Amino acid sequence: MLQLANLIGPDLRAALDDDPEGLREVLVDMHPEELAEIIEDLGDMESVELIRLMGPDLAADVLQRLPPDRQVDVMESLEADEAAELLSEMDPDDRVDVVQELTDDHAELVLAALQRAEPEAAEEIRELVHYPPESAGGLMTTDVISLPPETKVWQAIERVREIAHAEDPETIYYIYVCAYGGKLMGVVSLREMILGDPGQTLAELMNPKVVRVEATDDQEVVADTIARYDLPAIPVVDEHERLLGLVTVDDVVDVVIEEATEDAQKMGGVVPLEDSYFATSFLEFVWKRGAVLVVLFMGQLLTATVMEANSALLAQTMTLVIFVPLILSSGGNTGSQSAALVIRAMAVGEIEPSEWYKVLVHEVAMGLCLGLILGSMGFVRGYIAHGEEEALHLGVAVGLSTLCVVSLGATLGSVLPLATRRIGLDPAVSSNPLIASLSDVLGLTIYFAVAGFVLHVVF
């Protein structure tokens, strides 16, 4: 008897050659997710042999769980007819995702084969392909059950049964009530129908206040709406309120995870990746990280200019220079904290756009408070650095500068995300590196101003 552990390495090769039927039995007994994870690590040839062995139904389920780059590999290794058969077994939303990953020529080839086998599915893909993958339209499935309002509950249950047998819709638990022409009027759950009076019409039973999204809405809007109202599924309509499809909450989990990853990458100062870490090419990494670093580096060149401009002061009091990295990093660290807090609070809706002044006041106050703590530590370190009669001067200069630069960091860390949202950009582009770099340039100017003032004017 073949075991799961045999599905790797030379044993797999042997099983494919010697006992394909035994292997098939093992495959159909496994969870599609596990099969997908095995295929992910196989070469193209073995992948395709396994896919063929498991039959189109299971293969379709496995294929839609593969990462996009592997989907393309598999699709390209199959004959167009085989690829079309796999597609026809998939859910409409996953089908479109796969086709969108293919090259245009290859997509046309597969679609032509699908057109011959199942013209409706091919048409549907051609329609759905128009929606950007990250929109409600790109996310939705069109396999949705809609019934007219005058349908009786018992008729509706019968229809659901028929449709479920014939078409295998994504969910049969939500039935959308649509007027002639497709305008969305309400929603009824299968649960309400089963518990309700069979003689009632759907119009009587339905909930007419359906939370909905438009097909052109961004996937983030879909995720936020589903999360906000705790919905199991949300209908997607066009600009005339006509039902186009639905998005289920399990698709939204993936969206939420994807958006969190994008935000984390932006905050880390990387242009968000299209693919997974290992599927992204070295060159793409160089571009998506290098572009940001080069821009920041050019900004940071200002620090050298500020230092040059103050070289007279530096030469006079060499001890000043030894505190530059300490003071600058305190500002950057505080800014990084403020940015993380403010950006996430905005992302989850805890901070409304109208509350920007509350946030600003809070962060400035916080900066002063944290600045006092770090400033006192800076004072002590500055004081003992010299050990001569200038000790007090230097202590005050370092302490006061730390206070100012930490306050500056907190202010920048909140103002920048607030401002980027104000001008319509994603607050997460106010990345940590950007805030740290700005805080460095301004912090250095502050340091020299404060230190020059304390050392030469006050004393």
| 8 A C-beta contact, residue 2 and residue 12 | no
Looking at the Cβ atoms of 87 and 398, the one nearer to its own copies is 398
Closest to its own copies by CB, 181 vs 353, is 353
Least separation, in Å, of the C-beta of 301 and its own copies?
Answer: 6
Shortest Å, Cβ 381 to its own copies = 6
- From the number of C-beta atoms within 10 Å of its C-beta (0-12, 13-18, 19+), residue 283 rates as exposed
Query: What does the alpha-carbon distance between residue 278 and residue 273 come to, in Å, rounded to a whole number?
Result: 11
Annotate 253-316 with DSSP letters as a single string.
HHHHHHHHHHHHHHHTT-PPPSS-TTTS-HHHHHHHHHHHHHHHHHHHHHHHHHHHHTHHHHHH
Q: Which is nearer to its own copies, 113 or 336 (CB)?
A: 336
Of 3 and 180, CB closest to its own copies: 3
Nearer to its own copies, 273 or 391 (CB): 273
CA distance 216 to 234: 14
- Minimum separation from the CB atom of position 328 to its own copies (A): 6
Work out how close the CB of 80 gets to its own copies at its nearest, in angstroms, rounded to a whole number: 28
Min CB(101)–its own copies separation in Å: 17
The phi, psi pair for 353, rounded to 5°, reads -55, -35
**Rounded to the nearest whole angstrom, what is the least distance from the CB of residue 199 to its own copies in the complex?**
16
Rounded least distance, CB 88 to its own copies, Å: 20
The residue written with tokens 């920007």 in the block is 356
Helices 9-18 and 44-53, packing angle to 10 deg: 50
Q: How many angstroms separate the first and last alpha carbons of the chain? A: 89
Q: What is the distance of C-alpha 343 from the center of its chain?
A: 14
Residue in this structure with the two tokens 């590196």, named with its chain if needed? 433
Nearer to its own copies, 112 or 294 (CB): 294
Amino acid type, 190: L
Instruction: Identify which of residues 14 and 384 has a Cβ nearer to its own copies in the complex.
Output: 384
Rounded alpha-carbon distances, angstroms, from residue 120 to 115, 124, 127, 365? 7, 6, 11, 62
